[in-house]
Structure 1
Amino acid sequence: MPTFAAYDGLDVAFQVHGDGPPVICLPGGPMQDPAYLSDLGGLSAHRRLVMVNLRGTGGSATPADPATYRCDRLVDDVEALREHLGLDQVDLLAHSAGANLAVLYAARHPERVSGLALITPSTMAVGVAVTGHDRREAARLRAGEPWFPEAFAALERVTEGKATAHDWEAIVPFWYGRWDAEAKDHHAAEDGQRNDEAAGVYAAEGAFDPDATRAALAGFQAPVLLLAGEADVAAPPSAMAEVAALFPGATLVVQRGGGHFPWLDDPGRFVATTAGFLG
């Protein structure tokens, strides 16, 4: 697996899928091995996907200072990768929690970003609240599923701050547009993919300054795609519309029937959307 030297000399790994112009892909989790992204439903047939193993995850080395797991500190790792690849500008694609890192990079280095694709993004870096009402509205689209009654009751407890460990597991089907064998296998693989210590530091105090980030993004001129899943309780379309409005010319696409992993739910539609945007 190829590596590059981060700003502090740490060896950070990345994987490459496909050919063509590169797009740097930032995984969610937070701090999850990008294996769960696979080749993003076949997007590698259109672009060269450079999948970052964030420090302490996948094939990357573990830093001596755990504070470097903080999201704003990881921006310098992305910049080091851009320099390693010899690119004046990069297309960035980020999923879920990885979108926080992508928008911080775009805010700090706007001249280095040629395109930004945010896939069912987390909103912490920009301070957009996802309400319980938003989550319940997305969840009700799944009311015909046999697992819905138990999962919806658990979701109510989650939104009220009364969740148990069982409740968090019970709502997992809401994360997928189809709760089938592929989705169950995908979820089961996650346990060994995330660095929990790093995830605990990622959003630590000082990681985000939403007001400053919003101000920077208001002048961001590169094209932005914001892809939401119609039934995603983690990043429901109503909240995603608020995020899209922070950019001068963002395009919001809501994938019908999509959950939090839209490349699994409908690979063809996902690839058509993202490849069409990235070119």
Structure 2
Amino acid sequence: MEGYVTVPGGRIWYEVQGRYSKMKPFITIHGGPGVPHNYLETISALSDERPVVFYDQLGCGRSERPSDRSLWRVDRFVEEIECLRKELGFSTIHLLGQSWGTILACEYSVKYPSFVESLVLSGPAMSITRFESDARKLVETLSDHSQSAIKRAESIGNFNGESYHSAISEFYGKYVCRVKPWPQCMKEAVAGMGEEVYNYMYGPSEFTVTGVLKDFDCTPHLENITVPVLLTCGEFDEATPETTRYYSSKFPNATMRIFEGASHEHHLEKAKEYIEAVRRFLKDVE
């Protein structure tokens, strides 16, 4: 089943996979901002026992793309989830946030705690300040040519050069998705990306943060989230194991899983192990 739901600022596309059952529904929240749901497709494996919901946030993918920067706010994106929950008639939900989606999952849980059964937070990015700091350290592991290209681009404020994009490719190949070539679902997500949203809210790349999220940090709120939480990251994740462990310590009821040999898209790189871990977590919660 798929359709559109009206949210503040426009309409967003959604799809529900699997049948309604006694098992609580699972809503997935993609990253970016502005990178649509496609790359989360492996999570559909959980639809054999519960409804799994995918959607594209406003400004990307199959959703409407208004040109109004006042819409690109964390609180408005949180309301998208609530509009979706109401539209689908779910009383309570499990939430999965990936990357930027972990911010939305946490902020939703703080605002609407009575509707949330549990959280799965993959490649967590609840503090953009910390996320950027980790990324800058990882940049130091890149080739000298890439490091020089990044410094040069940032010094003049021009991020359109071939050398800067080559540096992005090297970084992403090590710390975002280590599968070569990238899976088709990743390519589809990039093709459907809302670049205006990403650039305005985040910046030109994962390691050059210039957007309005630059100083965002929701970690002071994490102690208020009392539902069970599963945090996951890859061994080579840009959301580093050290930082993921830090986030885990802030929740009253959290567990953590690191996937060896994987990076930010560990749900793709270690799909079988990831699905098994999430499935087990959800069953334990229920």
TM-score, normalised to structure 2's length?
Answer: 0.79
What does residue 249 of structure 2 align with?
245
Using the TM superposition, give the Cα deviation of residue 111 of structure 1 relative to its aligned residue in structure 2, in angstroms.
2.2
Is the CA contact (8 Å cut-off) linking 1:126 and 1:243 kept in structure 2? no
Cα deviation code 1:130-153 (max 9, x no counterpart):
43686379x7xxxxxxxxxxx554
Q: What CA distance in whole angstroms lies between the structure 2 residues aligned with 1:76 and 1:116?
A: 17
* Counterpart position of 2:40: 37
Q: Residues 199, 94 of structure 1: CA spacing in aligned structure 2 closer, same or farther, 3 A cutoff?
A: same
Does residue 166 of structure 2 align to residue 166 of structure 1? Answer: yes
Partner of 2:79: 76
Instruction: State which drifts further: 60-69 or 156-165.
Output: 156-165
Counterpart residue type for residue 92 of structure 2: Q
Deviation at residue 154 of structure 1 after TM alignment = 6.0
Percent identical among aligned pairs is 23
For the pair 1:27 / 2:30, whether they are aligned, the reply is yes
Where has structure 1 moved over 6 Å in runs of 4 or more?
158-163
Change (3 A) 1:41 1:257: farther
- Quickly say closer, same or farther: Cα 1:269–1:158, change in 2 above 3 A: farther
Contact 1:152/1:171 (<8 A) preserved: no
- Aligned-pair distance for 1:228? 0.9
Pick from 79, 96, 99 the counterpart of residue 102 of structure 2.
Answer: 99
- Is the CA contact (8 Å cut-off) linking 2:37 and 2:189 kept in structure 1? no
Partners of 1:154 and 1:37 in 2: how far apart? 32
What is the count of residue pairs matched by the alignment?
A: 262
* Equivalent position of 1:179 in the other structure: 179
Greater Cα shift, 123-132 or 249-258: 123-132
Q: How does 1:183-194 map to 2 (within 5 A)?
A: 183=182, 185-194=184-193
Q: Find 2:273's aligned residue among 254, 269, 273.
A: 269
Partner of 1:218: 223
Pair 133,193 (structure 1): closer, same or farther in 2 beyond 3 Å = closer
Distance 1:84 1:265, change over 3 A: same
Q: Which amino acid aligns with 2:258?
A: V
| 1:5 matched residue in structure 2 | 6
Cα displacement string for residues 13-63 of structure 1 (whole angstroms, at most 9, x for unaligned residues): 101223353211011122112112113272333432201110122222233
RMSD: 3.0
Q: Deviations over 1:112-170 (max 9, x none)?
A: 21111001122336856643686379x7xxxxxxxxxxx55467568976882221112
SS in 2 for 1:264: helix
Residue 253 of structure 1 aligns to a residue whose secondary structure is strand
What runs of 5+ residues in structure 1 fail to find an aligned partner?
140-150
Q: Secondary structure at the match of 2:250?
A: coil
Report what 2:122 is aligned to. Answer: 119
- SS of the residue corresponding to residue 28 of structure 1 reads coil
Aligned 8 A contact 1:89 1:112 in 2: yes
Equivalent position SS for 2:196: helix
Kept in 2, the 8 Å contact 1:31–1:199? The answer is: yes
What is the TM-score when the length of structure 1 is the normalising length? 0.81
Judge conservation of contact 1:94–1:117 (CA < 8 Å) in 2. yes
Whether the aligned pair in 2 keeps the contact of 1:135 and 1:236 (CA below 8 Å) is: no
Q: How far apart are the structure 2 equivalents of 1:156 and 1:273?
A: 36
Letter in 1 for 2:5: F
